[in-house]
Structure 1
Amino acid sequence: MCVPGPDRPSRTGAVTRWEGSTPMPQPRHETTALSALVARVAEGGLSAGEAVGGALERLDAAEPDIRAWVRVDRDGALGAARRLDTAPPGGPGGLLRGVPFGVKDIIDVRGLPTECGSPLRRGRVAASDAPLVARLRELGAIPLGKTVTTEFAYFAPGPTRNPHHLAHTPGGSSSGSAAAVAAGVVPLALGSQTAGSLTRPAAYCGVAGFVAPVGGPLDTTGFAGLSHSLDAVGLLTPTVADLRLAYLALTGADRRPGPPEPPARPRLAVWPGTELAEVADTMRAALKHTADRAVADGAALVDVDWAARTPRLAEAHATVMAYEAARALATEATQPERLSAPLNELLARGRATTAADYRHALSVAERARTETLALLGDVDAVLGPAAPGPAPEGLTATGSPVLSRPWQLLGLPALTVPGHRDGRGMPLGLQLIGHPDRLERLFSLGHALEEAIGATGPV
């Protein structure tokens, strides 16, 4: 039976219980949440049914407070687990056998509605899996259900709350996926990014996030698109090592990879982001701490004139996104009364954008991509804040995506590295931007930085 998420009891008492909580600790050992589950199932210490049953128990405990799930496919998930457990040797299942995962509700899962956080898509059942979901099934992973998205993956929030502090946003648009991983319900969730839809919630919720390069190798077919030039697949896991495991499995690995090789004397371009946003003192301190630690471990820092680069990219990104969204959602725009004010404003801007302005924005992106790939030929990654600060208080907005806009315009891979937190225990995520042809180097560097951050106290 496929059912909506658990009932929403009164918040009285629940908020009080969570508001003073500190972040759930991230594992700091070689066997992380996803890889530990993969190993236990592979070695016979845990059945697929037990893995899924445990996830459902954790979901039932967390969901009244977190509200991360739109729909939970209990019977479907348990049935898939039983089939794996009763299959003969050599039967179905692969590297991610028995891993329960969440799916952002703009991504098709056969037999489940893809509602995009909007009443305009209510009850639209997907006839087939998105290729990314189908690939995960081939690997033995089991979709637990659909996670909350903001309306059409834009700004209007759903009901999801930040697991670290219920009065704060989890970010968006991949809000439910990030919160489900942060709450420990699932070790893997699918999201997407068009502006800051994956990087920001990963940073706010204190989990690792990976934004795949635009255009491949992870396929966005079966995603409800917002901007075809900008839309990208996103993965969320507890740690960077888990991201690497998931990505390698999705792209063809047939066995568990060994630990990432530590990067030898990496070169980093440190980007403060202050030319685009007012960056919180705590985020600046987290960035400085990480850069200093990297230098102490042998990294070299490279100076870049960011003010001459990123503002024009953020502006061009906004132009491309509005123009393409207005065309992708042209049918929905005929019912403005059923859309949020922010989405109506985006679509109006897109309709008012001329084709000449759109083409100019694309040409800005093309020139800047060439320049930035040249930079990434000289440095291993750009290191900067993943968001201007910790998750803002309040649930009526999802925070600013501006620090992701330049990199998403260029279609580059982005890695959110968790570990830092402020004095209230709220996560402070950093991001690494890398070369699309050097993803193993990006994962290795992200893993090394995550390990270096370690059990750092509040900044």
Structure 2
Amino acid sequence: MNLPVQYTPGSGLNSFADKADQFLRGEDTPSNFLHRCITSINTQEPEVKAWVTTRLDAVQAEAKTADRRYASGTPLSPVDGMPIGIKDVIQTRDMPTKFGSPIFDNNETGFDSASVDALRRAGALIVGKSVTTEFAFVKPGPTRNPFDTTKTPGGSSSGSSAAVGAGMVPAALGNQVVGSIIRPAAFCGNYAIKPTLGALHMGEGLGLSQLHLGVHAASLQDMWAVASEIAERAGGDPGFPGLYGPKTLGTKAQPKRLTFLETEGWAKCDDTTRAAFTSYLEQLRNIGVDIVTRNDSKLANDFEVKISDAVRLCREICSFELRWILRQYRETEKLSDELTIWVEMAEKLTLEDYRMALATRAHMRHALAEVAPTTDAFITLASVGPAPDIDFHADSGEAEYAFLTGDPAFNAATSALGAPAITLPKIAVNGMPLGVQVIGAPHHDWELTNLANWLDAEVASLSI
């Protein structure tokens, strides 16, 4: 494989969405589809480095069983025979779960997380474990961007985003507490959903109050099918009602009004990125969609003010909630210097600081509840620009540390809000992906996906 390659929106993806009918008609088989995926893995993995481990022999045997189900007209679900990657912070019974850390180098639990158990029962083919940053935080793993290996794939769901972007698999699981699904998906040209908080069962989880399980995918149809099958078989996180909506997408839903959110990210965009997104919004206006900004609406402006310090807020909440275990990891002397800094910052926080952070997050969520009825959805970018260089240090706004897999300025707010967010691979800037992000009201994931489907089908992609 020769990298870099010139990206055009949607290129490189390997969707499973139209395969079931072909399998049922005998025109293709899950085994043949898997073989094409394995060929892609063998070709691209030496440079992209998306995988921690794979189980290719076992998954080929499972594909033959899926072949027989389709041949008899009895597939288990829309994801029966779909090759899927699992981020390596999510337990799998037949592969180690290493969390991107030498501390867990030989960590065999022998059990599946709720999401993996659900997918296996739906007939999905679990191809392997995809690379994560250390404990899904700041220190990168070895993964490279599939369109230019001198660029970051994003993080923390680095391997999942790269594997989907490279066409190795049609879907992969990721999770997000700040920007770990939406930003890497944008960098690697994926479709992806960070659903409503608690909508998909995290299993053992990581003990974080705003941890979302989500899906990277080659199409919106693949994305929703995977999310829906997890929800049906595992439900949401304990105490949450789970993902709402039918198992298949509905009619493409044209919005009448979209509210553009600047978040913390807009001020950090370069002129080219701003021009590209401004052109995308202009296309929407020309189709008849009303684009509202903070200058047009007092409620929208108040919401922008409330979410204007979300990156720091997320750092405080997440580091406080995990400091008890990070302290113990530090004692092993195998914790990275980058994450050790987070422990030291977390140690400075008091319980009162944490309570204040939770109160601020609650005010943000209240502001969302007030403004959400005034718009069909919110629209913004998924990142402050295309993927930066692999060794780029993005300013975090705090002197102690930098972001090593890209700036989450367009992502932190939706994580704190617990609102559903979807990224679409609709823009290319200088030959690299740039995602368009839409955000909905909590528990309106299905409606948001139908709206995203309209945007994907009816609004032209841009390359500049």
Counterpart residue number, 1:136: 119
- Once residues 394 and 291 of structure 1 are traced to their aligned partners in structure 2, the CA distance between those partners, rounded to angstroms, is 30
2:421 maps to a residue whose letter is A
1:372 maps to a residue whose letter is L
Counterpart residue number, 2:3: 18
2:124 maps to a residue whose letter is A
Counterpart residue number, 1:428: 434
- Once residues 32 and 439 of structure 1 are traced to their aligned partners in structure 2, the CA distance between those partners, rounded to angstroms, is 23
For the pair 1:146 / 2:129, whether they are aligned, the reply is yes
For the pair 1:177 / 2:160, whether they are aligned, the reply is yes
Q: Secondary structure at the match of 1:316?
A: helix
Q: Secondary structure at the match of 1:329?
A: helix
Counterpart residue number, 1:232: 212
Q: Secondary structure at the match of 2:434?
A: strand
- Once residues 141 and 235 of structure 1 are traced to their aligned partners in structure 2, the CA distance between those partners, rounded to angstroms, is 14
8 Å Cα contact 1:380/1:441 also seen in 2: no
Counterpart residue number, 1:352: 348
Counterpart residue number, 1:410: 417
RMSD across aligned positions (CA):
2.4
Counterpart residue number, 1:279: 269
Q: Secondary structure at the match of 1:311?
A: coil
**Larger deviation, residues 381-390 vs 436-445:** 436-445
Once the two structures are TM-superposed, the CA of residue 369 in structure 1 deviates from its matched residue by 0.5
Change (3 A) 1:47 1:161: same
Q: Secondary structure at the match of 2:308?
A: helix
**Larger deviation, residues 66-75 vs 306-315:** 306-315
Q: 1:223-268: CA deviations, max 9, x gaps?
A: 4x1x51121102001233432333334334999736x423244321
Once the two structures are TM-superposed, the CA of residue 379 in structure 1 deviates from its matched residue by 1.2
Q: Secondary structure at the match of 2:112?
A: coil
Matches within 5 A, 1:55-454: 55-86=37-68, 89=72, 93-216=76-199, 218-223=200-205, 225=206, 228-252=208-232, 257=248, 260-273=250-263, 277-303=267-293, 304-305=300-301, 307-335=304-332, 337-395=333-391, 397-423=404-430, 425-454=431-460
1:316 maps to a residue whose letter is L
8 Å Cα contact 2:49/2:159 also seen in 1: yes
1:417 maps to a residue whose letter is L
How many corresponding residue pairs? 434
Q: Secondary structure at the match of 1:202?
A: helix
In structure 2, stretches of 5+ residues that fail to align are 234-244, 294-299, 393-403
Identity %: 30
Relative to the length of structure 2, the TM-score reads 0.87
Change (3 A) 1:237 1:420: same
Once the two structures are TM-superposed, the CA of residue 340 in structure 1 deviates from its matched residue by 1.5
Change (3 A) 1:448 1:32: farther
Counterpart residue number, 1:4: none
Q: 1:359-396: CA deviations, max 9, x gaps?
A: 11111111220210221122122111111111001246
8 Å Cα contact 2:113/2:204 also seen in 1: yes
Aligned match of 1:54 in 36, 42, 50?
A: 36
Relative to the length of structure 1, the TM-score reads 0.88
Change (3 A) 1:48 1:242: closer
- Once residues 131 and 52 of structure 1 are traced to their aligned partners in structure 2, the CA distance between those partners, rounded to angstroms, is 24
Once the two structures are TM-superposed, the CA of residue 412 in structure 1 deviates from its matched residue by 1.2
- Once residues 14 and 371 of structure 2 are traced to their aligned partners in structure 1, the CA distance between those partners, rounded to angstroms, is 33
In structure 1, stretches of 5+ residues that fail to align are 1-13
- Once residues 41 and 328 of structure 1 are traced to their aligned partners in structure 2, the CA distance between those partners, rounded to angstroms, is 47
8 Å Cα contact 2:201/2:230 also seen in 1: no
Q: 1:70-115: CA deviations, max 9, x gaps?
A: 1010122112122333459476732211110111111111121000
Change (3 A) 1:255 1:413: closer
